[in-house]
């Protein structure tokens, strides 16, 4: 147990002691002042500390807001980054597909290039063969040109020979009279037919002027048409006069005393087969090209565009093609 302090330090002072009371009051006032100063100091420090804390809290709050904003921005950036990564992944997939396609195309292109290369090599070999053939053909063409020149020369000679033969053949017929359209009878007298025809044409003729009269079958015989009468006369003048007079009369079988159906009778020069064909083609072409006149004289074929144009002799079909235009 604790003992009570001695009287020196006891707690029972003499309350009536004025000096004690004064000392006590003085002590209490000092203590109060000290306490107030301490309190004021503490309060000031607390206020300062509070201000500091408040400032620090404000800074921390600001920093927290900044951090929050940064975090929000980081979240947005992270989202954008994720989106970009997604796009990059998609692009990567597309690039992979494109790369695969390009690889496939590359393989295909290489295959095609190999085929083209083989084709080029093949065609190159073909070209070499063609060059050889062309060289051979060139020699052949030279030979052909030479042969063509010779052929043209031969054709010209052949044409001239045909014209010469035809001319000689026609010359042999210069005295011949050709009568077409007179029906054949069992007891006919060809010489009398020619004499009667000459009388109608107003030409005096005697039997001695008629060297021979024969019926001949035309090369292209038509069914139902009588054979042609060919009469060789003693002079070309007699023949020409009969032809001229007969053409003016437009003779028929009735004029010659032939009974039966009335048919036209034609009196012409006795043309060679070649000249007959040439005359026919000239008439056909002249009709197309609007030439007014086509005729024969002394076994030669002539044409004329109109009354004022000059007469043109036609030698053969090639000559006709050049002159009837």
Q: Give the DSSP letter string of 239-252.
A: HHHHHHHHHHHT-B
pLDDT averaged per 10 residues, the chain (length 325): 47 53 66 78 78 77 75 75 78 78 80 84 84 83 88 89 92 94 89 94 94 87 84 95 92 89 93 94 94 92 94 92 86
Strand order in the sheet with 312-314: 293-297, 300-304, 312-314
| CA–CA dist 231, 120 (Å, integer) | 80
Cα(38)–Cα(32) distance, integer angstroms? 9
Which pair of tokens denotes residue 218?
């035309």
> What distance, in Å, lies between the first and last C-alpha atoms of the chain?
172
Q: How far apart (Å, rounded) are the C-alpha atoms in residues 132 and 9?
A: 152
Q: Which residues pair with 266 in a beta bridge?
A: 180
Q: What is the DSSP letter of 181?
A: -
pTM over 0.85: no
What letter would DSSP give residue 310?
P
Write the CA distances from 106 to 67, 93, 100, 116, 171, integer angstroms. Answer: 54, 19, 9, 15, 87
CB distance 179 to 229 below 8 Å = yes
Of the candidates 311, 305, 306, the residue with the CA atom closest to the CA atom of residue 325: 305
> Tokens 């010209």 identify what position?
156
Predicted local confidence at residue 18, as pLDDT? 59
Q: Is 163 exposed, middle or buried (0-12, 13-18, 19+ CB in 10 A)?
A: middle
* H-run or E-run covering 175: none
Q: How far apart are CA 126 and CA 53, in angstroms?
A: 102
| Residue 174 tokens, joined | 């210069």
The tokens describing 125, both together, are 């070999």
Kindly give, in sequence order, each residue whose CB lies less than 8 Å from that of residue 257, ignoring residues fewer than 6 positions away. Answer: 196
């Amino acid at each position: 147990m604790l003992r009570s302090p001695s009287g020196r330090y006891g707690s029972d002072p003499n309350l009536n002691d004025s000096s004690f009371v004064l000392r006590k009051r003085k002590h209490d006032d000092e203590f109060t002042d000290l306490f107030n100063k301490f309190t004021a100091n503490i309060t000031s420090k607390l206020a300062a500390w509070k201000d500091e804390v408040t400032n620090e809290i404000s800074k921390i709050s600001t920093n927290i807001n900044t951090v929050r904003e940064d975090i929000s921005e980081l979240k947005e950036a992270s989202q954008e980054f994720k989106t970009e990564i997604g796009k990059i992944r998609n692009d990567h997939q597309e690039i992979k597909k494109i790369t695969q396609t390009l690889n496939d195309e590359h393989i295909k292109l290489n295959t095609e290039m190999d085929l083209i290369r083989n084709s080029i090599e093949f065609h190159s070999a073909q070209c070499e063969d063609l060059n050889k053939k062309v060289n051979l053909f060139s020699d052949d063409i030279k030979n052909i040109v030479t042969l063509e020149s010779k052929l043209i020369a031969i054709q010209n000679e052949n044409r001239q020979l045909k014209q010469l033969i035809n001319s000689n053949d026609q010359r042999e017929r210069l005295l011949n009279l050709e009568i077409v359209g007179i029906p054949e009878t069992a007891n006919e007298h060809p010489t009398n037919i020619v004499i009667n025809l000459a009388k109608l044409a107003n030409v005096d003729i005697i039997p001695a002027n008629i060297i021979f009269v024969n019926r001949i079958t035309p090369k292209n015989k038509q069914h139902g048409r009588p054979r042609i009468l060919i009469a060789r006369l003693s002079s070309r003048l007699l023949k020409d006069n009969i032809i001229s007079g007969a053409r003016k009369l437009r003779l028929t079988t009735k004029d010659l005393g032939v009974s039966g159906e009335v048919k036209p009778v034609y009196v012409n020069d006795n043309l060679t087969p070649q000249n007959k064909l040439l005359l026919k083609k000239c008439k056909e072409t002249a009709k197309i090209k609007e030439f007014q006149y086509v005729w024969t004289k002394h076994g030669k074929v002539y044409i004329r565009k109109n009354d004022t144009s000059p007469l043109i002799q036609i030698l053969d079909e090639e000559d006709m093609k050049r002159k009837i235009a």
